[in-house]
Structures are given as C-alpha cells and as structure tokens.
Structure 1
Amino acid sequence: MRRVERYAARLVRLSVGHRGLVCLLWLAVLLAGGAAAAANLGRLDQSFTASGQDGSRANAAITERYGSGAGVAPLVAVVTWPNGTGGRSAAAAARLESGLAAATEPGTRVLSYAGTGDGAFLSPDGRTTYALVYPRSGKPDLAGLSAVRAATERLRTQLRAALPEARVNVTGVLPLQEDSATERPGLLLQLAKASCALGALLLLLRTFRPLLSLLPLLLAAVSSVAALVVVLALAGGMELSFVVVYLIPAAALALSVRRAATLVTAWRAELARGSDARLAPLRAGSVLADRAVTGALAGAAALAALALLPVPFLRSIGIAGAAVCLVTTLAALTLGPALLSWAPGRLRERRPGKGRSPQLRFSTRELSLPGGRPRAPRLLAAGALVALALLTGAAGFLTAGNPRADALVRGGPARDGLDQLTAAGIPSGVINPLELLAPSGVEPAEVAARAARVPGVVTAVAPGAAAWRRDGTALVAVIPSGEPMTASGRRTMKDVRSASAGTETLTGGSGVPELDLVQGVYRLVPLGLAVMALLGFAVVAGLRSAGVAVRAALCGTVSTLAVSGLLVLVWQYGPGARLLGGVAATGAVTGWVPLVAGALAFLDALDRAVAPGSAPRVRPGIGLVGPLSLLAIGLGPQVELALLVTGLGGAVLLNSMLVRALAALPGRSRPGAHERSAETTTSALPATPVSSYWSRPRLPLGHTIPLAEPSDHAQ
C-alpha cells in the first residue's frame, strides 16, 4: 500500500474513533469560519481586472486623483428633443446644462454638447444628444457599484423632471448590467431552472436516499467555508481576486458529491458483504482514500503552480483551486466516515439488487461487435471524442471581453436608452469612452488632438473645468465608435495608446482592463497550462503509474481547452444564448470566466482520471448534480452569471463525457483496472478501532473486530 494512502487510512480511523470531536470541529469551521469569511470579503480585489498592467495602473491613478471614472464606465444620459426643437439651439443647450447640474452631485464630471460645443455629442439630425456623466463612485468594488446605482436613479428621475417635453433615458454599461440582474426570466426559462433543480434533487435521493443526501451538501458547505477562510487569510499579505468566491463553491460541490458517492457506495458494499456495522465506515473511508488522495495531491500541486506566475489574477485562481482540492478531500476523509458511524440502523439496510432483465441482455448482445464489446458505447465514445476535438479547436476563436451592450438585457430603462441612442445614428461605442491622464507639463489639448486623429475615434475632448484638472494633471476623454470587445474597438484602444506614447500619458477607461487581461494574462495561459500538466503528471506518476499520469495530464489539458470552446460556441457566436436566458450572441466572453471555468475543468478532469476503477462503482449520473445545481441557480437574463454557470457546469459535464469516452475505446480495459484491488487498502487499519474518551463506537469489553472477512465472503 502506498505510504500517503496509509496515512489517509489512519486519518480515517482516527476520525471515526473521535467522531464527536471531529463533528464539533467541522461545525465550528462552518459557523465561525462562515462569519469570519463574510466579514473579511473586502480583503479581496473586487475589480476583476489584471492588476499591475498599464490599464489598471492608469485607472488606479485616475481614481486616486479624481474619485470617479477610470474602471467605472460613465452613465450616458440620452435626450431626444421634440419635433421642431434642435439640440444645437442655445436654449436647448442651456436647459440641458441646467438639468444635468440639478441631477448630479457637485463635483461630478459631465461631458455634453452644452459644455463642449462639440457636434460629436449630437445625432446627425441634431434632435438627439447624449451626455457622459461620471458619478463619484470611487473604486469599481461593491460600494462603488452601489453608488453608481443611486446616481443612475437620481439622474434619470431629475433629468426627466427638468426636461418634461423631451424623451429622456439613462443607459450605460452598469445600468444595462443592473437591469439584466433584476429582469425576471420567462416561463420557459423558469421551467428549465425548476427542472434542473428537480433533476439534481432526484439524483441525490436516488444515490444517497433521503437522509444521507445531506452528506454531500454538508461536505460542500464546510469545504467551501474552510477553503475561503484559507484564501482570505492569505489575502492579508498578497493581492487576491474576488473570482475565488465563484471557483471555490463550484469546485467544492463537484468534488464533494463524487467523494460522498464513493464513500457511501463503499460503505453499503461493506455492509452487504456482512462487515460489522462499526467497521464499515473505516473500510469505506479507506476505499475513498484510495480513490481521492492521489487526485487531491495532483490537483493541488497543479493548481498551486499558477501561484508562482507573476500575475495576481492567475495566482488567485491557483491558490483557491489548491485550497479547495485539499480541504474537500480532508473533509470527506474525516467528517464523512465520522457521520456514517452514527448512521441509524435503517440506513444500513440494503435493498436486494435486481438482476438485469432478459430483454436488456438480449439488446446488448444484438449491439455487440464480434470482439464482445457493445457497439453503441463505442459509437457514442467516438462521437464524444469528435465533439471534444471540435470544442478544443473552437477555443482558438475565443474573444475575451465584456459582452456586447445589446446582448446584456432584453428590455428595461437602460435598454430603452441604448436603443434610443443607436436609433438616432450614434454608435454604441460611446458608452465605453477612454480616459487619458496627462501628467504635469503635458498640454491636454495636444493629447486630445493626437487621439482625435486615430481611426475609430468619434471625438477627443480636453475640458478646462476644475473637475477635469487636479494636482497639475488633466483628463482627456476619448470617445470611440466601436465597443471594446469588437476588433475595431480593440484596435482603437491600441492606437490611442500608441498615439500618446512618449508623453507619459496613461490610458485608462472601463474597457482597457479587458485589453490588459488578454495581453497580460492570456499570454501566460499556455505556459500555466503546460506547467499544470507537467506537475500533475509528476505527482500522478509518482503515486500511480506513468500510463495513468499521461491520461490524467491529457484529460486535464483537453478539458480546459474544451470548456473555453463551449463558451465560444454557445455564447460568443450565440446558438445557445437565447436558450440559456441571453438575448443574442455576446460577441465576446467575459475575460475572467474562461480562466475560472478552465481551472475547475482541469482540477475535475485530473481527479476523475486518476481514480482507480476497482472500487465499488457509484450510480451513473451522480456527476450531474453539480452542473444541474449551478444551472438552476445561474440560468437567467443576467448574462455574465449565465456565462459563468455555463462554464462551470460545462466543465464537469465535459469531464464526465471525456472519461467515459476514453473508458469505452476499443482495446482498452476500464480505466484503473490494472490497479490493485481496493480491499488491500484496509490492511492499514488496526484490528480494533482506536479508543476514545467519549465518542468511539461502543464495543463489548475485550472484543476485537477482525479486518479479514470470513472465507465465505471472499470475492
């Protein structure tokens, strides 16, 4: 028996012997750790950007000096004057200026035709005008978003009151996202969400039965809290991103369901073979150690490799992935057997199994090939591998960035404003302006003139108002025609940066961090994926065999790429966007989503690939519990949340498909069949459970539980 699994088996024995103490410790982790985690979430960076890059530094400098704009996109007030009234008239401009002053707080930065006289703020017919309003929101964190929400409602209400004869709406990136979060899903989508929730519940009940179905949920809860506490503790000394809040629960749920299913299945198998009820949790925990420890160590080592890369975003994902992998396995090896040792007698009863019907056996023979293998599984496996190959290739077409504005929400006040803007002939790129921070000694007008000459720029303005000049610096607003995720918009951002090169001018704005995410993070993804695969291979090869290690590294790599391809095909190009609650093709995938989903995909695939096939097999379909639960929670009009759950749920589904397809390939035995029998792991257990002062299972004085089963139970 391997030394590491021997230690894990001893940990199981110790946990069962001190089951009361173990349960109290995990309960304390759940309650006290949950309260501490909720109180310290502010330690995490909530900007979802690639910090340390040029755009992030520019946005940080702008926020520090001006307290608005930068990473927070401005509000866009859209005003359409009635027939016979033109926005170019002095009276209309004066009324607009006074209305904006009344609808915004003092010190708010505002750009409009009334303040600049620039015709780029008017539609071609002159009837529609727009104004950029930068609320004093501070950093792009939860508090900043709350300030933007309040500023949006104030601007919309008071500007309509000041201009009753005009059609007034307020739009922008954040108002569009806010409307998508509050929009109610349609009837069909609600039915789909309910079906996903019901399916997950039925799978839990079918595998665990009613009372034991709480076990995987409890393991997921304590593992999520414990891993988050570890990450928050480390966040006190380093910069970690808020994305870990999404990765940790999803990974904990996927791993906990599989660990719990393995544990309960092995426990019931031991009871069915006639093992003593007090020994069965020990044996089941030893079987779980055989299946889970290698995957946990390999996954933790592979994800921890990301922590070595000089990018805080990837470091956050690596630390969170390693923490949740280890903590989930620790909880399953300690809390799981401890709880099973307290299971009521009625849960230990096992219904007699039913043999396969003659009709089913006949169908299998009819579909079999001359070699004895069923034809249908092989055909399905070939189809699954082809689909995975296509998804892996589609990953090369990934466009990382914010979704298109018109794909964020189907209807609402912000969508009305966007439609009003574009219907008037004004490009949608104006809702994502750039901001240039000109240092002291650099003439802002010259910076604006350079930027205005860049193709794709509608206008560049260097206001002279005090709100745009501070501490010797000045802000220049650059309004592009294309949105940041489009090819033209991304090219415009690069060209504006190049135009201001040599003047120490910093280029910021809400769309720039996405460009930095591609240039500063995605360029390191191939290196990170290669290092993860090598470390995973090394650990698995040391604990299992080289063949298993090759399969594990290959599965992890393919799964990581395939989940990105899934997001590209479903959301970026739109075939499944409407079905999953979206409006239309997003044109891009939110930059951090493929990274989080890819980390889960690699971790889950590695864990599945190294599990030996000799342990008792769990009921098929239990792996769907995690994806169905995520879809039940996240499907809906909120596009970024739907994108996230599609990636996380798709990662687990693709892994299940990949491992089953490899198992059905011709000329192969079941994965792990060459591994030794799981029963040998119980040799690490002593003849009697360790004695405990108050919580060990009660045994008659002097009684000894033999590990070796009687000969009539030998298999």
Structure 2
Amino acid sequence: MNHLGDRFTARLGRFVLRHKLVVVLAWLAVAVAGVFATVAMGDRLTEDFAQPGQPGYEANQAMHRLYGTGGDDPPLVVVVTLPAGSTAAGQRAEIGELFSAAVSAMGVRVVSYADTADPRFVGDDGRTTYGLVFTEPTRGMNADLSEPLRKALQPALMPGATLRVTGMEALAEAEAKGLDVLAETLIGGLGALIVLGFVFGSVLALVPVLVAAVSIPVTFLAVYGLTGVTDVHTIVRFIVALVGLGVAIDYSLLLITRWREERALGYEGEAAVEHAMATAGRSVVVSGATVGIGLLAMVVIPVPFLRSVGYGGIMVPLVSVAAVLTLLPVLLAKGGPRLDWPRRRLPAESGRWSAWARGVVRFRWAGLAASGALLAALGWAAFSLQLGQPVSDSLPRTGPAYEGLSELRRAGVPSGVLTPLDVILPPGVDPAAQAARLAELPGVRTAVAPHGRRSGGTSLITVVPSDETGTEAGRATIARVRAAVPAGSQVSGEGPQSLDFVAAVYGGFPAMLALISVLTFLLLVRAFRSLLLAVKAIVLNLLSLGATMGAVVLVWQYGYGSEPIWGLAGTGSISEFIPVMIFAFLYGLSMDYEVFILARMREAYDRTGSTDEAVVKGLGRTGRLVTSAALILFLAFGSLAAAPQPEIKMFATGLGLGVLLDATVIRALLLPAFVAVMGRWNWWLPGWLASLVRVPAGRPAIPLPVGAPGPRPESDPAGQGRRIHE
C-alpha cells in the first residue's frame, strides 16, 4: 500500500506536467502582482508592539491619551553642567528657563530640578543637573529626537555651561546602521548562488534562485492581503525576504538533487520528474508542514505583534512548498536536461559522508557522548537567559549620547534615570503624599509629583529608579512600585510593558509546546512509520533549540560574539520576543534536515533490512545535501544580521547558529549515532498508532510513474531486476 503523501505528490506531479503552460502563466501573473504589492506595502505595515489587555500596555496607552507623552517611549535626558563656581541651586530659575524653551519649541513634558526642587536631580558635584524630557510618541524604531531637542535648548543655555542629550533612544541611534531588506536579499541570493554552483556544477544552479525569486513576491502579495484584515508588523518584510529565500532554495535543492539521481538511474523526461516528486516531493510537504506547525506557537500567542509575524511566517513555507511542487517540476521537465550543463558528475552517494557514517556507526556510543556533552554545555548557558530591554552598557560607547551618560555617571547619577516610570493616580488621591511614599521604596532614587500634572481627573507621579528597568534589580523595583501604588493606579513605562509581555508570551508556553509536539509527533509518525523516530526527532529538536538559545545568550547577553563582530557590547538581557521567534522559526527549519535524512534512512532500511546500512546509505546520500542547504540558510540569515536593528541581529544570529548547529553536531553526529544505537527499535510502530495515523505496519512501496522503470537494489546497477510496484 502506498503512503497518502506519496500518492498526493505523485498525482500532483502528473497534473502540473499535463498543464505546464497554465502553471507557468499562473505563477508569472501572481509574481508580477507580488512585485507591485511589495512596493506598495510599506505604508500598510505597522511598528506598533500592541499588547491589548496587559496592564503595562494599557497604562502606556492611557499616558498617550491623557498626557500626550511618555508611555513606552523612554524620555530624552538633558544633562547640563554649569561652569565651575556655579551651583544648580543658585541657578534654578535659569534652569527652568532653559527647559521652558524645550516646552515651547517641541511641546514636550519636562521633569527637572527647576520644577521639583528635588536635590536628586542634581549630581554629587552640585553643578551637574539633568531633566527628563518626555516627547510625543515616536512610532519609528530608534526614532531619535535628541538633535532637534539640543538645537531648541542651545539658545537658552547659560553662559559657560555645557549641554548634552542622552537617553536610551539616543544611545541606540548610534548603532542603527545597516542594509535595507532589498540589499540583504540580494546578498543572500548571491551567496546561495555560489553554493549552488558548487553543488550542481552547471547552469542548473540558477533554477532554485529563480524559484525563490518567484515565491518571495508571491508571499509578499499574500502578506499584502493580510494587511487588509489585521495589523502586520514591519519586521515581517525581513522574515519573508530572507527566510523565504532560504526555504525556497532549500526545498528546490532537495527536489532537484533527487531528480538528478533518478536521471542517473535511467529515468528520462517527465518520468524522472514524477519519480522525484513521489519521493523528495513528499519530504518537501512534510518539511513545510513542520515549519508551519512550529509557527503555530506565534499565532496562538495573545500578542498581535507576534501573531502577525506568525501569520507572515506561515505564508513563507506554504508559498515555497507550492512553488517547488508546481513550478519547479515544469521547469525541470521543459529545460532541466539542457540547464544541467556543463554537469559535474557527482555520485549519488558521497564517499566522504559514507565513510563518516561508518565511523559514527562504529563509535556510536562515543558519538552520543561527545555530541550530548556539547549540547549540554550550550544548553546550560540558556538557563542564565535574562529577558528584557537592553541596558545602556550594551549600546555604543561613542558619540554625544554616550558623552552625556558618562557626564551623569561622573556626577554620581545612576543610569536608572534613563528608564523612569510614570504612575497615573485615580481621582481623589494626593499625588504629593504618594510620591513621598514611593520615594522611600528600595531601588527608587526619587519620586516627584510636579505641580499641575493633572488630566481627566487623574494626577501624575514620575518615579526615577536607581537601576535601569532592563536589569534584574530594575525589574524588582517595578514590582515594588506596582505593589505600593493605590488601587486604580496605573504604572507606565517600557519596563512594566516588558514584564507583562514576558508573562503573556511565556506564561502559557509549556501548554503551547505540548500542543506543537503532539501535532509534530503525529505528522512524523505518519512520515517515518516509526514511534521512536518521531519521538527522537522532537527530542533532538528541543535539544537543538536549547543549545541555540544558550549560544545566543553567550553571543549577545554576555557579548562573547556581539562585540568582536558587530562592535556591540553584551546586552545583559535578550529582547523579550526573540526566544519565542527563534523557537517558532527554528523548530520547523531544523526539522527539515531531520526529514531529509530520516526519509532516506527509511528507504534504505526498507530495501536492506539493516539499520547500520540504513545509517550509512541515508547519511551518505543526504550529507552533502544537508550541508549545502544549511550553508544557504546560514548565508541568508547572515544577510539578515546586517539589518540596523539589534533585535533583528539577535534573531538572525539565533537562526544562523541554530541551523549550523543542527546540520553539524545533531544531524551529522547525534542523529546517526542514536539511530545506530537503537537498532531495530527505530522501526517499531504499534498497530494502534499505525491505525490512528492511517499508515501500514509493513514496508512502504514507493509509487512510480506509469511506465517508468522500478527501483533496483544497489547491487543491480544495470537494472536487470527492475519491477513495477503495485
């Protein structure tokens, strides 16, 4: 009996080959529409990180609505150093006039020594003072208003004084340099073309790039349609372009490689295409499905920003699979043999990978121990993961903003003043009394209630913490402030919203992981007809993800790679949405290689009945393919890491390291060693489970194109033993 997936891809192959012109014209039409959609999409994307229903987000929205400033936009911090012999106390009126110039010119809200008389707004030297300048919400990533503010203040600056503007946004602006999405895609495509040139040694290397060039604009067209029904975040542009590039090329590489093998075995014309579709096409379907299942993690999260990324991400494998299973067969049937020139004749089975596989089989326990130790070491680093905003020390240590921060620190002012909190008090509460209470809390430098800060019956307190809210101490301060404010109050700022984001995203993560694992298990049981192989695939994938997160922690949180590569110091924490995005995308992408390798191992075992031989044949036939596919994805993610935003750099780093780790340590060593250790238990499938997923318990028969020669054993190169499987 044939597998349903085999029958589907075989029939699909025959269908598209009977309607070649229609298929090509349809893809050409939607690709052209996709180009226009790509150009027009910019104004339809959002940069909003909405978290409706979460206390921090709702407090920030209330700040925007009632007071027009603040919320999740951290303030600019103006640092004024008076000349020697002067004091802030002696020039309080002049300081007030200085900040009044900013209010008049830019409509900002200012909290300073001039309007509070709080000595905590003055440094230890008595002549360095700072003011918090809350601007209107800036909905752009790294939107820096420090230079316009400096120009507005400069004419009112006291003689002999110096003025510097710092703040988290101003510090971040110094690193917001990088390539745009088009340049990144072109660089990634060029790198992929070079790899494909080595793999195929012929003009055929252009075909996977052509498939990607069609599937990417079509995916953008789908995203464009999505913007009509829901908000879609601007980060989806990078994901569609770079992940789409890698996925489409990888799937194309798998199908083309199998097509070349079938031609080498004697299949010609459309028969070679159909047989490749019946085998490798099924692996493409399973791989695309696993990527989609992984992205369900983001679709079910109650955060619109991540949900939109999940929707956009799911469209990437869907369109890529559709292009590879419909457009690519037509291209191979019509021009494949002519494009496969000058062909570099490579054996279907790599001698080096076969030799490596024999070594792994021979030393299987040592392979398990070595790979397990490395994964455990990296996974251990993941336990020190800190989620939250970046800290100031992780941002560039040059430029005017850093000079302002250094001036504050020399005056004994802690960097926590860069990340203040605003407390919205309900009607009837005395703000001065509440400010005095909050100022006494551990971790609070000061809390002030400037006169006249009222709107809609509410009043406002500004809390200045000693530690940045992106640090563990800062997060503890937020918790204390939230616990101390009267009922009905709202605590706003980037820090509270960050804490609520973590709770919303990761609070239900175990249940979500269980759901995804069950769906993946059923899919893989059906694909491999094995209980153990399906469980092992999920376990190895989770080990790979844990090790990848450990690598991200080492590279970014501790700075063991970010500083030498990008010139950025360790962030001290990882942006809240990065781990879940890495999990969602890498869960399916890394499973691709599992599907590629185990599908060939399954074929080899069904033919030989030997697990050791299945490991050698499976890895020998897929090792080169998996390595090339991983390198292409790595180059795509390397291009993505050239984006200006540090969050995208983190995301790209995680995907790139994860793909390399998965293709080397896990799929080239741990996987074959584990299969070799488990022996015949790899192929066991209980009857009840076989019935549940509707697969036979016996060996599968691969459906062949009508009239095509059947498969022959390895010892029958001439094909005398050909037969047709019924």
Which of the five TM-score ranges fits, normalised by the shorter chain?
0.7 to 0.9
Residue aligning to 2:135: 135
Distance (Å, rounded) in 1 between the aligned partners of 2:197 and 2:204: 8
Q: Secondary structure at the match of 2:173?
A: helix
Residues 559 and 601 in structure 1, CA contact (< 8 A), matched pair in contact too: no
The 3 A distance-change label for structure 1 pair 141 and 213 is farther
1:50-199 pair list within 5 angstroms: 50-90=51-91, 93-104=92-103, 105-137=105-137, 141-142=139-140, 145=141, 148-149=143-144, 151-163=145-157, 165-182=160-177
**Aligned partner of 2:677: which letter?**
G
Q: Secondary structure at the match of 1:650?
A: helix
Deviation of 1:158 after TM superposition, in Å, equals 3.4
1:52-451 pair list within 5 angstroms: 52-90=53-91, 93-104=92-103, 105-137=105-137, 141-142=139-140, 145=141, 148-149=143-144, 151-163=145-157, 165-182=160-177, 200-209=192-201, 211-231=203-223, 233-234=225-226, 236-238=228-230, 241-304=233-296, 306-312=298-304, 315-343=307-335, 345-349=337-341, 350-353=343-346, 373=361, 375=363, 382-451=369-438
**Aligned partner of 2:111: which letter?**
L
Q: Secondary structure at the match of 1:322?
A: helix
Deviation of 1:63 after TM superposition, in Å, equals 1.4
Deviation string, structure 1 residues 525-556 (Cα, Å, up to 9, x no partner): 22221221111112222343222321222133
Paired residue for 1:452, among 413, 432, 439?
439
The 3 A distance-change label for structure 1 pair 416 and 450 is same
User: TM-score with structure 2 length normalisation?
Assistant: 0.83
Distance (Å, rounded) in 2 between the aligned partners of 1:475 and 1:14: 68
**Aligned partner of 1:32: which letter?**
A
Residue aligning to 1:476: 461
The 3 A distance-change label for structure 1 pair 413 and 299 is same
Paired residue for 1:645, among 648, 652, 658?
652
Report the more deviating stretch, 114-123 or 297-306: 297-306
The 3 A distance-change label for structure 1 pair 121 and 197 is farther
Deviation of 1:318 after TM superposition, in Å, equals 4.2
Question: Is 1:531 matched with 2:515?
Answer: yes
Distance (Å, rounded) in 1 between the aligned partners of 2:661 and 2:250: 15
Q: Secondary structure at the match of 2:507?
A: helix
Deviation of 1:16 after TM superposition, in Å, equals 3.1
The 3 A distance-change label for structure 1 pair 671 and 298 is farther
Residue aligning to 1:586: 571
Distance (Å, rounded) in 2 between the aligned partners of 1:275 and 1:357: 21
**Aligned partner of 1:624: which letter?**
L
Identity within the alignment, %: 35
The 3 A distance-change label for structure 1 pair 449 and 47 is farther
Deviation of 1:141 after TM superposition, in Å, equals 2.7
Q: Secondary structure at the match of 1:338?
A: helix
Deviation string, structure 1 residues 607-662 (Cα, Å, up to 9, x no partner): 33233024853445211121133224425885333322211212212221322223
Report the more deviating stretch, 442-451 or 311-320: 311-320
Residues 533 and 556 in structure 1, CA contact (< 8 A), matched pair in contact too: no
Distance (Å, rounded) in 2 between the aligned partners of 1:320 and 1:416: 41
Distance (Å, rounded) in 2 between the aligned partners of 1:681 and 1:101: 79
Distance (Å, rounded) in 2 between the aligned partners of 1:217 and 1:14: 24
Deviation of 1:238 after TM superposition, in Å, equals 4.9
Distance (Å, rounded) in 2 between the aligned partners of 1:9 and 1:364: 33
Residues 62 and 68 in structure 1, CA contact (< 8 A), matched pair in contact too: yes
The 3 A distance-change label for structure 1 pair 651 and 644 is same
Deviation of 1:428 after TM superposition, in Å, equals 0.7
**Aligned partner of 2:572: which letter?**
G
Q: Secondary structure at the match of 2:14?
A: helix
Residues 97 and 114 in structure 1, CA contact (< 8 A), matched pair in contact too: yes
**Aligned partner of 1:643: which letter?**
M
Paired residue for 2:637, among 626, 630, 634?
630
Distance (Å, rounded) in 1 between the aligned partners of 2:294 and 2:572: 32
The 3 A distance-change label for structure 1 pair 606 and 241 is same
The 3 A distance-change label for structure 1 pair 445 and 43 is farther
Distance (Å, rounded) in 1 between the aligned partners of 2:549 and 2:641: 18
Residues 664 and 670 in structure 1, CA contact (< 8 A), matched pair in contact too: no
**Aligned partner of 1:411: which letter?**
T
Deviation string, structure 1 residues 211-239 (Cα, Å, up to 9, x no partner): 43343344445444444544554555456
Q: How many residues align structurally? A: 671
Distance (Å, rounded) in 1 between the aligned partners of 2:73 and 2:680: 53
User: TM-score with structure 1 length normalisation?
Assistant: 0.84
Paired residue for 2:677, among 667, 675, 681?
667
Paired residue for 1:562, among 520, 533, 547?
547
Distance (Å, rounded) in 2 between the aligned partners of 1:26 and 1:498: 58
Question: Is 1:608 matched with 2:593?
Answer: yes
The 3 A distance-change label for structure 1 pair 84 and 498 is same
Residues 394 and 568 in structure 2, CA contact (< 8 A), matched pair in contact too: yes
Distance (Å, rounded) in 1 between the aligned partners of 2:494 and 2:298: 26
Distance (Å, rounded) in 2 between the aligned partners of 1:346 and 1:677: 40
Deviation string, structure 1 residues 77-132 (Cα, Å, up to 9, x no partner): 11222222222223xx3333333333453531111112222111111111211111
Residue aligning to 1:699: none
Residue aligning to 1:692: none
**Aligned partner of 1:100: which letter?**
F
Paired residue for 2:470, among 474, 485, 510?
485
**Aligned partner of 1:122: which letter?**
V
**Aligned partner of 2:627: which letter?**
G
Distance (Å, rounded) in 1 between the aligned partners of 2:350 and 2:224: 54
**Aligned partner of 1:76: which letter?**
V
The 3 A distance-change label for structure 1 pair 41 and 506 is farther
1:692-703 pair list within 5 angstroms: none
Distance (Å, rounded) in 2 between the aligned partners of 1:357 and 1:561: 31
**Aligned partner of 2:172: which letter?**
Q
**Aligned partner of 1:351: which letter?**
R
Deviation of 1:322 after TM superposition, in Å, equals 3.4
- Say what the alpha-carbon RMSD is for the aligned residues: 3.7
Residues 403 and 485 in structure 1, CA contact (< 8 A), matched pair in contact too: yes
**Aligned partner of 2:499: which letter?**
L
Q: Secondary structure at the match of 2:506?
A: helix
The 3 A distance-change label for structure 1 pair 592 and 345 is same
**Aligned partner of 1:508: which letter?**
S
Report the more deviating stretch, 570-579 or 125-134: 570-579
Which contiguous aligned blocks of 4+ residues in structure 1 show a shift greater than 6 angstroms?
193-199, 354-358, 669-679
Residue aligning to 2:559: 574
Residue aligning to 2:49: 48
Residues 254 and 625 in structure 2, CA contact (< 8 A), matched pair in contact too: no
Question: Is 1:23 matched with 2:24?
Answer: yes
Distance (Å, rounded) in 2 between the aligned partners of 1:252 and 1:636: 16
Distance (Å, rounded) in 1 between the aligned partners of 2:443 and 2:656: 38
Distance (Å, rounded) in 2 between the aligned partners of 1:86 and 1:534: 67
Residue aligning to 1:189: none
**Aligned partner of 1:626: which letter?**
L
**Aligned partner of 1:500: which letter?**
V
Deviation of 1:686 after TM superposition, in Å, equals 4.5
The 3 A distance-change label for structure 1 pair 306 and 198 is closer
